Structure 1
Amino acid sequence: MVRMRRNPERLAWIVLLASFFTCIGLVVAVPLAIRHYILYSCVGQNVTLEVQRGPLSATLPGRGEPVAIEQERDNVPERTIVATEATRGRLVMHASRADNPVVVAVQLYENTEVVFLSARSPRFTNSPLPHKIVLEVRSGRVRLNVSDDDGRHTVVEVRSPDGTVTLAEGRYEVTVNGETTEITVRDGRAEITDDANHTLLLGPEERAISDGGIVGPLPAARNLIVNGDFQVPLDAGWSSYHEEREDPPGTVNVVTDEGRRVANFYRSGVNHAEVGIWQKIGYDVRDFTSLQMHLEVRIVSQDISGYGGCGYLGSECPIIVRLDYKDIYGTDREWLHGFYTGEPAEDWQTNWWAEQLQSDNWHSYDSANLMEELADTPPALIKSLTIYASGHSFHAMVTDVELLAQE
């Protein structure tokens, strides 16, 4: 110290150089820190829990006891456990943007338990990071629709007792049954990693089974429907029609809803009208043991003389699915399933094949095995599939239409 006082020039140079290098460090470090924050900072997504058939059971983080969820709930916190028994629901992940786009929708079937671990999106548009969602499927069955958003990829990580599945944009099904996990890719790409760090890539219409090791790729059930996700124009595979007693006619076109292409059925009017799409199939199914119908349905609104339901005769549902087939005896037959919202008038008929839904939510429908359900008149030839809206005023949507056949 005495030397420094005797040599003030040296002390001045030390102070000057230290200040210089500190300034240089700040000039370099601050922009790098800002750049890193802009590129890699993330925010939580808005996650909605929709109740399709309640109540659902939800255990919130930090609380030991589950609570019953009867109505839709927004801003579901991370690490929430959702369980179903004889109930159904959906977890819907919205990217953190002003227009609130849907990037992932997770359909929860009966007897399913899922842990929502995280859902993050980049804070700034300049970030190269994808939207990322992490889920744990402890038991049961889920369907996932994964959508990219405005040029940004979406990545979903699904954990199970048998390993991890990483999903890109597409449509998938994951089933956890005891010690076995089955992954099916309808459309998209999946990477499966087991506990031994072995990996397997799956493409469209492939599946794999993981139970300590990975078995696959295996063929998925054959889908007999063309363009059931409406990714190409409606006239690819489908023909449309409309019938009405008076104008205006009903319309059907393809629109985007929650990041998916859907068939949109609409009419605002009085008296009976019908609008639909149909597809010729012409497939011999006598060698198949399983035949199952799947589709996603949303009924935005309906009105038949101020009521819900399916009209006086029970035949005017806002969405009806009709499968025309020829049985093994050569007789032409049909299988029907309808969907409606609201309450019908007291003297109106409700057919056994019509199902009531909550309005304005997406619902996933899976039929029973039709080869067993129709065992008295077993299908031999599937002739065609028709999906139509019937009534006075209606607005309904369908997508992910599949007729899955398995030998």
Structure 2
Amino acid sequence: MRRNPERLAWTVLSLAFAVFCALAVGIPWGVHSYLMNSTIPHDAQLQVIEGTVLVQEERKSDLTAVTESAAIAPGDEVLTDSTSWATLDLFERSHLTLYNNTNVYLAESESPRFSLSDQPNRITLNVTGGLVRIGVALPTERSTDFIVDTPHISFALEEGSYRIEVNNQGTQITVVRGQALARGKGFTLAIPQGARTQVDLSGQPADPLPAARNLIANGNFQEPLAGTWITSTTILDPARTPPRVEVVENGGRRSVRLVRREEDDGVHSEAAIRQDLDQDVRDFRRLELSLDVLLDFQSLSGGGLLSSEFPIIVRLDYKDLWGHDKFWTHGFYYQNRDGYPIATDPWGQPVGEQIPRGVWYPYESGNLLDLLGDNRPAHLTGITIYASGWNYDSQVSEVQLIVE
């Protein structure tokens, strides 16, 4: 028999009151937390532009081949190969273009379940390799936390347009429009509109640079040719003296000299330097070639009978939007005593232009993406600068191929 029923009653009453208070506070707080933080996942829409795209679904071990379109759920990964590319439309109207050999994992794609919530939409992408163009949509009813992770760094993207490339050397981001925040261990770096930055394997970003960049390595020839340029010479008659390729100093600059000045004439020969390129340019708005040319001597008039033998020719090799191998050339000459006709290229432009002899001539191609129209480059494979003809003495310097 209990000796103090009053104490027991007060204990029960106190516990009941505590439970009541906990429920009175906890239930509204739980409801509020659910209303504020509950989310809905959203699929993205994959549209194949060319080739076959593979999808690794989160709960499947086998890859799914997609040739037209498919829904991509959070947790799925999209993989393009060397022959395929695609677009990905996100639920809040943002848009991605996945170019060749690109892997993108859709880590998060969600919005608050209830309109009462003040939380933003959340999108997180993992780009593990390749090239992706991202257009982040302008927020409408609520803002979006748009995060792109790579193996080297994380970016927070505002509304705008971005180009992100991931390879074995690191990550490069170009801010076409908007602003990106690069975030890593102990730092945050703002990358403004019209700028780009390179992040190396250590995860440290370089200071932002202008978005325009030069694809040519060692175009001023300050370093030895070996390692950046491949040299070659040919002559139809192997018994004759072949041309030479050499680096020379000229007026305070270093240049490549392509020369054959022998007593015999009328024998076709070529001297060339070539640099291999592996650059997708579908995402750029400008592609412009510039170089300085000096012509000291040419024995063959103009570009020869077929407009194919100039003392300097620059050739850009590329694949077009349909994967076909194409090339664009432009030649230079200073004399055409024999009056050979100068042919026009498929775009209606002369394949060669006459320039003054013995002075440095600065050449700028203009925007080749506009000039070449439907035959514009999609992927650059190489650039060759060569002399072709009989006897010649020519130099080139300050070679640049600018993309933006």
When normalised by structure 1's length, the TM-score is 0.54
The one-character-per-residue Cα deviations of 1:5-57 (angstroms, maximum 9, x if unpaired) are: 33323222222222122112111111111111111111101211111113101
- Contact 2:164–2:173 (8 Å) recurs in 1: yes
Match of 2:26 in 1: 29
Structure 1 residue ranges without an equivalent (≥5)? 96-101, 223-282, 292-322, 339-352, 354-364, 376-403
- Contact 1:108–1:141 (8 Å) recurs in 2: yes
The one-character-per-residue Cα deviations of 1:133-166 (angstroms, maximum 9, x if unpaired) are: 1111111100111114324111222111212111
- Contact 1:207–1:219 (8 Å) recurs in 2: yes
1:87 aligns with 2:78: no
- Contact 1:142–1:175 (8 Å) recurs in 2: yes
Within a 5 Å distance, the mapping from 1:2-401 to structure 2 comes to 2=1, 5-74=2-71, 76-85=72-81, 86-95=83-92, 102=93, 104-194=94-184, 196-211=185-200, 212=202, 213-221=204-212, 287=290, 329=353, 335=371, 337=373, 353=375, 367=378
Matches of 1:139 and 1:14, distance apart in 2: 65
Q: Please tell me the root mean square deviation across aligned C-alpha atoms, in Å.
A: 4.0
State the Cα distance separating 1:366 from its structure 2 match: 7.2
State the Cα distance separating 1:372 from its structure 2 match: 6.8
**1:57 counterpart SS class:** strand
Matches of 1:163 and 1:125, distance apart in 2: 33
State the Cα distance separating 1:288 from its structure 2 match: 7.8
Q: Kindly provide the amino acid, as one letter, of the partner of residue 201 in structure 1.
A: A
In terms of mean alpha carbon deviation, does 80-89 or 328-337 score higher? Answer: 328-337
Matches of 1:24 and 1:35, distance apart in 2: 17
- Contact 2:55–2:64 (8 Å) recurs in 1: yes
Identity of aligned residues (%): 29
Matches of 2:23 and 2:350, distance apart in 1: 79
How many corresponding residue pairs?
253
State the Cα distance separating 1:73 from its structure 2 match: 1.0
Q: Kindly provide the amino acid, as one letter, of the partner of residue 81 in structure 1.
A: E
Asked which structure has the greater CA Rg, the reply is 2
**2:196 counterpart SS class:** strand
- Contact 1:288–1:405 (8 Å) recurs in 2: no
Matches of 1:324 and 1:133, distance apart in 2: 47
Cα separation, partners in 2 of 1:78 and 1:335, compared to 1, 3 Å: same
The one-character-per-residue Cα deviations of 1:310-365 (angstroms, maximum 9, x if unpaired) are: xxxxxxxxxxxxx9999994999973545xxxxxxxxxxxxxx4xxxxxxxxxxx9
Q: Kindly provide the amino acid, as one letter, of the partner of residue 137 in structure 2.
A: S
Cα separation, partners in 2 of 1:335 and 1:216, compared to 1, 3 Å: same
**1:136 counterpart SS class:** strand
State the Cα distance separating 1:210 from its structure 2 match: 0.4
- Contact 2:139–2:159 (8 Å) recurs in 1: no
- Contact 1:288–1:406 (8 Å) recurs in 2: no
Q: Kindly provide the amino acid, as one letter, of the partner of residue 164 in structure 2.
A: V
When normalised by structure 2's length, the TM-score is 0.54
Match of 1:276 in 2: none
